[in-house]
Amino acid sequence: GQQLNQSPQSMFIQEGEDVSMNCTSSSIFNTWLWYKQDPGEGPVLLIALYKAGELTSNGRLTAQFGITRKDSFLNISASIPSDVGIYFCAGRTATGFQKLVFGTGTRLLVSP
């Protein structure tokens, strides 16, 4: 199945550091979503983006819809141990109806 390229694959950082991850595609997307998944649980929606160039924040999280519409970025500021998990981007193409295409995930580990 189709998947988005997400990088980095994993990150191990110290508490208090800022984190950046991105998601790229060869296709144009009309919607970008960012999810966090804890082990054995379902993904939790963090941020939704609907317009190219849009920058949206949710607490310490900030995400941007790339102006080319082929990428998106997620930043986490001042990381804390509970930020540990797998972060997935998801996108919807113009012809994809409600189908979301998911990224391969970025595993984040935070050392206290």
Partner 1 sequence: EAGVTQSPTHLIKTRGQQATLRCSPISGHTSVYWYQQALGLGLQFLLWYDEGEERNRGNFPPRFSGRQFPNYSSELNVNALELEDSALYLCASSLAVSSYEQYFGPGTRLTVT
Piece of the chain touching partner 1 by CB under 8 A; list 9-17, 63-71, 74-82, 85-93 = 85-93
d(CA 44, CA 46): 6
Structure tokens belonging to residue 55: 């920058």
Piece of the chain touching partner 1 by CB under 8 A; list 16-24, 53-61, 64-72, 93-101 = 93-101
Of the candidates 63, 41, 42, 39, the residue with the CA atom closest to the CA atom of residue 53? 63
Task: Rule CB under 8 A: say whether 100 interacts with partner 1.
Answer: yes
Task: Rule CB under 8 A: say whether 97 interacts with partner 1.
Answer: yes
Q: What is the contact mask toward partner 1 in residues 36 to 55, using x (rule: CB under 8 A)?
A: ----xxxxxx--x-x-----
Burial class (CB in 10 A: 0-12, 13-18, 19+), 21: buried
Task: Rule CB under 8 A: say whether 3 interacts with partner 1.
Answer: yes
Task: Rule CB under 8 A: say whether 31 interacts with partner 1.
Answer: yes
Of the candidates 18, 20, 17, the residue with the CA atom closest to the CA atom of residue 7? 20
Of the candidates 46, 44, 37, 32, the residue with the CA atom closest to the CA atom of residue 101? 32
- Site residues, partner 1 (CB under 8 A): 1, 3, 31, 33, 35, 40-45, 48, 50, 88, 90, 92, 97-105
